[in-house]
Structure 1
Amino acid sequence: MIAGAAAAGLPHAPAPASDRRAAAEESSAASTAHRYCVYLDSWAQPWADDPAQLDLAKSPSYIGTIVLSFMQPDAQYVRGSYSFNGTSLQFSCEGTVLRDAVSLLRRRNPGVEVLVGIGGATYQNWPGMNVSAIADFVSDFGLDGVEVCWEPTAPGCTRSGSGMQCATDAESISVVKALSEGLPAGSTLSVAVAHVGAYGEGAWADSQPLSAYTGVSLALLRSDAASSITRLNIQAYDASTAYNPKEALAAYQNYFKGPILLGVKIAPEDWPQEGAPNAHVLSLPEVEDLANEVKDRGAGGMSLWSLYKQPKSGTPSVREVSQTICDVLELGDSTQPWPW
C-alpha cells in the first residue's frame, strides 16, 4: 500500500483535481504561452552557505520550471527538519540554504515554478511511496509541487487485440492518484512520460522504435487519474535515430489535452551508446526545429535534461540549447546571465 495515500488527518487540504488543473492552466496562460522546464541535478549543484550564491537562485527568468532531481518515492522526511537524509536528494548545502534560495528566486522571478522530481531511473520503490513525507518536504521548502519521474525497469507491455496492456498499468495510476490526494492544495502534479509511451495503438500502432516501453503511458492517460495531471513532460530522447519526437508529441496530444512539454537531452544520450551507428546526437538546428513544432502544434513548451550535463565535444551546450529554446518560444531575453 502506498504510505499516506488515504491516511486521515493529513496536514494539508488538497484541492480537487479539476481545480488544480484549471488553476495551473490559468497561471501558465497568464505568464507565458509556453514554458521551459529544466532538471537540476542535485548531486552537481556546487556547495554554498549563502542562498544568493546557489546557482538555483540565479536562474534566468525565461526558465519557467525547475525540477530538483531526484527524491526517492519511499522517502523519509521529518516536517521542519530541512534535512536531505532519507530523501536521496544529494545537495551539499544545508537544507535551509536551499529553502532560502527558492524564496530568493521567487522574489527575483515571481513566475517561476520549483518542483521536486520523484523517482527517476534509480529509485523504484513506488509501492512504498511515502506521500506524507513528500507533501511535508514540498511544504517546508516552499515548492510548487512534484514531477512524477516514474521509470519502471520492467513495464511488461504487450499488445492485446488492438490495444496495449502493461504489467505496470495499475502502479502508474495508483501513484498519480495517491499524490493528487496527498499533496498540498494547489500543487502542480507534472508527469514525465516515456518517449514511446503513447505508441502502440491506432495511427501509432507501428511507430518506431518498438520498445519494452511502447504504450506504457496509455492506461494512465485513459484513467480517471489523468484529470489530476497538470502537464506531461515527454522524455523525447534515448530512443535512437529511428525515433521522431514530432510523431511522439502528436501521439501524446491525441490522448492528453492539457499542456505537454517536449524534452531534449544534451549529448551524449544514454542509449544507444555514443558511437553506435543509430545513436542520436542533439544539434541546435534540431532544437530550433522542435521548438517551432511545439509552437505550430500549440504544445506547452520544452524541457531539458539536465543543467549540469557536460556536452559531447562539438555539440551544443546547455546554455546554447536554452537560449535557442528561449528565442524560438519567445520566452524573454536569452542573453541574461547564465549560472550553469
Structure 2
Amino acid sequence: MVLATAAGTGAARAEGRPFLAYHASWYEVRTDDPALTTIARLPPYITHLALSFARPDLTYKGGLDLDGTGLQYPYSGTVLKGAIAALKVRVPQMKVLVSVGGWNYPAWDRFDAGALARLVKDLGADGVDMDYETHHPDCLRTRAGRIACPGDALSVRVVEEIRRALPRPYVVSVAGWSVGAYGEGAFANARPQGGYAGVTLALLRAPVAQEIDLVSIMSYDAGPAFRPDEAFRAYRVHWKGPLALGVQVLPGTSGGPRFTLDYTARTLARVMDDPLAGAMLYALRLEPEGVTSPDNPDYRSLAVAICVTLGLGDCTARMP
C-alpha cells in the first residue's frame, strides 16, 4: 500500500528525478566477459551509476591498469571498460561515474585530479562522484553564527580541480554528509549535533557549487534523532539542483532506523513534493545478513522500492 501510494504521488513528476546507485567493486562477480558483469546488466531506471571507490591519491598512468586506483573489481580494466560500453548500448542515458573517496580513502591532501581524469576518460565513463569524507571534521560555529571546518578550503579546491580536469559535459556529483547542512539558520539546532554538523556548507555556498550537477545526502547511520527529510530541507536551502536522499542496504551501527521497504518508501515520499528530489542507494552488490524480507531487504528490493516511489518507470526490469 505504501509503495503504491508513493508511486501515485511521484509518477507525474518522475522526469528529472535522480537515482544514483553506488556499485561495490569489492563484491562484483568475477568474469572475463564484459557482458556477464552486473554493470552491463543493470536496469534502466538507475540514472547515475557510481563505481566505488577510487583513491583520491590514486596512481594511474594509463593502459586501463586498475592497480593503484583503489577500485577493487575482480577483473581487468579492459573488462570494466567493456562492461561500461555494453551498459551504454542498452541504457545510453545512464551516467557512469567514478566515485572517489569514501570512508576508507581519506587522503584528500594528495588528490590527483589528472590521474582521475585519465581514468574516467580511458574507461569511457561520464564523470566523477566526489565522496569527500574526513575522520576529523571538527566543525565549529563562529561568533557570526556560521559553521567553519578545517577541511572547508580543501573540499572546495578538490571540486575546482575536478572541474578543470573534466569540464562539462562531464558530470560531477557530490555526496554530502548526513548532517552536512546543519548548524546554521533554521537548522542551527537540528539534531544530531557534533563535529560533522555543517561540514558540507562551505562547498555548497562556494562559487564552484555551480559546477556541480547532483548532490546526494548520506542520510543514514546518523543516530535515532536524525530525520532524513529534515536533512533534505537543510540541504535545499543551499542547493537548488537535483538532490538525492540516501538509502543504505546494510544496517548502520549508530542505532538509527533500518531501511526496510516501508521506511524507505515513507522517507522518500516525504520529499516528493520537490520535483528534483530523488534517491541514492548504497550500495549495489551488498547483501544483508540473514533471510531477506521486507524488513531485511537486499539491494534488489530496495532498488525496486526506490524506483516505484520515485515513479521512474520500468521498475519490473531485472536487477542482477
TM-score (ref. length: structure 1): 0.86
Aligned counterparts of 2:61 and 2:166: Cα–Cα separation in 1: 16
> SS at 1:227's partner residue?
helix
Deviation, 1:327, is 1.1
Aligned counterparts of 2:96 and 2:277: Cα–Cα separation in 1: 17
Residues 1:105 and 2:82 are matched in the alignment: no
Q: Does the Cα contact within 8 Å between 1:292 and 1:328 map onto a contact in 2?
A: yes
Q: Does the Cα contact within 8 Å between 1:116 and 1:145 map onto a contact in 2?
A: yes
Match of 2:302 among 287, 302, 321: 321
Cα RMSD, aligned residues only? 1.5
Deviation, 1:185, is 4.2
1:202-222 CA-to-partner distances (Å, cap 9, x unmatched) read 110110011221010111111
Residue matched to 2:118: 136
1:149-192 CA-to-partner distances (Å, cap 9, x unmatched) read 00011111011121111111111111111111111541111000
Residues 184 and 297 of structure 1: CA distance in aligned 2, closer, same or farther (over 3 Å): closer
Q: Does the Cα contact within 8 Å between 1:116 and 1:143 map onto a contact in 2?
A: yes
Paired residues in the alignment total 303
Aligned counterparts of 1:121 and 1:154: Cα–Cα separation in 2: 11
Match runs of 1:204-283 below 5 Å = 204-269=187-252, 271-272=253-254, 278-283=255-260
Structure 2: segments with no counterpart, 5+ residues: 1-13
> SS at 2:173's partner residue?
strand
Q: Does the Cα contact within 8 Å between 1:135 and 1:184 map onto a contact in 2?
A: no
Aligned counterparts of 1:264 and 1:137: Cα–Cα separation in 2: 28
Deviation, 1:129, is 0.9
1:303-333 CA-to-partner distances (Å, cap 9, x unmatched) read 1111122124451221111111111211112
Residue matched to 1:182: 165
Residue matched to 2:46: 63
Of the structure 1 ranges 243-252 and 86-95, higher mean CA displacement relative to structure 2 is found in 86-95
Higher relative contact order, chain-length normalized (CA < 8 Å, sep 6+): 2
Deviation, 1:137, is 0.5
Residues 1:40 and 2:16 are matched in the alignment: no
Q: Does the Cα contact within 8 Å between 1:139 and 1:184 map onto a contact in 2?
A: no
Letter in 2 for 1:106: K
Aligned counterparts of 1:267 and 1:85: Cα–Cα separation in 2: 28
Aligned counterparts of 1:312 and 1:93: Cα–Cα separation in 2: 26
Match of 1:291 among 253, 268, 271: 268
Structure 1: segments with no counterpart, 5+ residues: 1-30, 273-277
Residue matched to 1:336: 317
> After TM superposition, which residue ranges in structure 1, 4 or more long, deviate above 4 angstroms?
none
Letter in 1 for 2:309: V
1:196-249 CA-to-partner distances (Å, cap 9, x unmatched) read 000001110110011221010111111111111111110001101110000000
Letter in 1 for 2:181: A
> SS at 1:56's partner residue?
coil
Aligned counterparts of 2:46 and 2:180: Cα–Cα separation in 1: 26
> SS at 1:39's partner residue?
strand
1:117-154 CA-to-partner distances (Å, cap 9, x unmatched) read 00101111112111111011010000000000000111
Aligned counterparts of 2:276 and 2:220: Cα–Cα separation in 1: 18
Residue matched to 2:284: 307
Residue matched to 1:53: 36
Deviation, 1:300, is 3.4
TM-score (ref. length: structure 2): 0.91
